[in-house]
Structure 1
Amino acid sequence: MSLTTWAGNRTYAAARVHEPRTVEQVQEVVAAARHVRALGTRHCFNDLADTPHDLVRLDGLEPDVVLDERARTVTVTGGTRYGTLARALHPRGWALHNLASLPHISVAGAVATATHGSGDRSRNLASAVAGLDLVTADGSLLHLTRADADLAGAVVGLGALGVVVRVTLDVEPTYDVAQEVHTDLPWDAVLEHLDEVTGSADSVSLFTDWTGPAVRQVWRKTRVPVGGTYEPRTDLLGAVPATGPLHPLPGIDPVSCTPQLGVPGPWHERLPHFRLEFTPSNGDELQSEYLVPRAHAVDAIEALRALGPAVAPLLQVAEIRTVAADDLWLSSAYGGDRVGLHFTWLPRQPEVEALLPRIESALAPFGARPHWGKLFAAVGAPGSDPADLYPRLPDFRSLVTRLDPTATFANPFVTRHVLAS
């Protein structure tokens, strides 16, 4: 049976797919391969993880959750899903600082692409990485920690440095979250008070189709002490509090969504938009996302609203969210706070790909960085060097040359978007 991406929009071209059960078996596969790439939960929409040679799946490795309460860290195998990790941490009194919209994604895949979650004060998932175990080209195991200068370059590594078989993450004492939803927030209020809106909770998402006078829904997630109470807020610049649970897509049953209505509950059951128990999609979809500096957010939003008539016919829903700055070389939030402009598309890939250059042209003046794991046309303006957007990219290229001199982990995506200048 052919192996496809999670969305089914790409079939992997690999001649061989390996399913190791131990780290030692991963080492054997890599040592014997001429070219190899790693797969987690395949929640990727482009050819980042593909190769015509060998693919190694990490979802067969046991999670092997090792909690170090004294160091406030947890170590897991790279293919472990965040939802699985959360369910192991929470009963023991510990939590992660953030989660993405889907708890179904793998730890190694998420951090390698700077997948993020949301919040003015919340850095992306990769920022929690305190250490990595990489299987390098000769099959040996390289252990990196924050004491190593290379870690900041290796975390968002795009699979170009080796196969990440273990990840060590920071943890903190567990907490509850209350999630509430408002509808029909006027665009005028968003543009005039964007900082107030995104700062009104620990995590805020605005759902829109880029047309009409108002944002359809605003999801707000607020931290609450364990066992604490929360009084849902009715005021949000003219938006209307939802009277029942909602799905981001109009008219869709919210049964797959995490609990709302301001009822507090465990962090891992509120921070994602969707529950671990359910298939993480309303049918087939494609995704794109661009992250712009916070200072340019309003101008970038206005640029996309101007494209609304072209975007809306291909769109299921769009989401605006924020991410705090980090120091990871290829992170989309490297060097400054960012606003993410996310698109969940209908499964009409040729039409979406034809539209992306228009979106990227509109966002280019604002320094937009595309999400590495989603659909995009180019990193930066056509013909430009991606280093214009990522100041540490020359250092990353040097790191690739040093750790992978035989180009064992090279593939067309990395060559095209990262290594070529």
Structure 2
Amino acid sequence: MNAVIVAVSLMLALSLMRVHVVVALILGALVGGLVGGLGLEGSLQAFNSGLGGGATVALSYALLGAFAVAIAKSGLAHALADRALALVGRQGSENSGLKWLLLGLLLAVAVASQNVLPIHIAFIPLLVPPLLYVLTRLRIDRRLVACVLTFGLVTPYMFLPVGFGSIFLNEILLANVAKNGVAVDGLSALHAMAIPALGMLCGLLVAVLFSYRGKRDYDLQRIAQVERAGARYSRATLLVAGVAVALAFVVQLWLDSMIVGALAGFLVFSLSGVVRWREADDLFTEGMKMMATIGFIMIAAAGFAEVLKATGQVQSLVDAAAGWIGNSKALGALLMLLVGLLVTMGIGSSFSTVPIIAAIFVPLGVQLGFSPLAIVSIVGTAGALGDAGSPASDSTLGPTSGLNVDGQHNHIWDTVVPTFLHYNLPLLAFGWLAAMTL
């Protein structure tokens, strides 16, 4: 029995049974390590050695939480939301125009976070929580919002060669395909990934037009308590907030550090007096608590991934898939995509999956007679599969961090399962289609 299959299956099964994701990751890692021959001590050692890999992201989330609470204190986000609330007040929950406007705004910002302003998930805890009150008044299903955000976080990097997409497509995907023996000169990664990206778009349309088009009710009182719906603001506090947000983004882009960017923004609030010195400690702690769960999941996920790598059975899984394929192109494409899905859901990063699978899948693709463009599409899609739908991926953890500030959005059943069904299944179908037609 392959340790990767056992570990990922156990982790997913426990998560679906509503066992906390951190507990599921730890138990999955230990059982996977035992199956992989590491023993209990070796499994713990590998898990502990990997924890540091998630510490930077966890601290970034904690500081972003503190920054988000400071923004709420200033009233900036609520000033922006008040105009929307006025429209809701006049037209009630039937204001479909405002619903599509808000969903379009969230989608546009998510897409821009991958290329125009490459801040990835940093915008979510700043923008989404203050809009929850408006979204709830409109009775919008948060599962739909999670699908919209995840689409915007994943599709641009797997399709558009700018920002994070330039890193994934050029520096990781094409570079690893070339490294393993296929000439990529003149190949367009955009062309190779166009059909898989179309699968993502189809999944989004199904979620928007069918799965979650109905209305869903949430407790407004819980949102009002968490989101300071009655927060007071003035021109001065709004100006300070605008300066703090701009400075945070500039510093993050300059130093490539969400930690320093969020800290700089929080300091602006403290030095300006919008957040009083005697309140700063409590606000900072409140924000860190808000993001603590997500941070610990990221830390545990890093340990989980390290155990999978230490067993050496990620490569064994890839090798086994190559042995099952034989000479069938159709079966070969399907199995390569399924292995990519399993590996990415366990590791939680498509960027880390491509180098692992390319070493076997590229020569295998050549042997089966796939064109260079089809090989790029297979490896790229296999890497991207699982990013949406993994409990440990920042593409799912990010939306949950914004939508669950009031405790009314479950990470597994309201983010992970919807994004898995609406993106991974179409991506499998369209990725296979691309492999067979390119």
TM-score (structure 2 length as normaliser): 0.22
Q: Which has the higher contact order (CA 8 A, sep 6+)?
A: 2
Q: Which structure dedicates a bigger proportion of its chain to helix?
A: 2
TM-score (structure 1 length as normaliser): 0.23
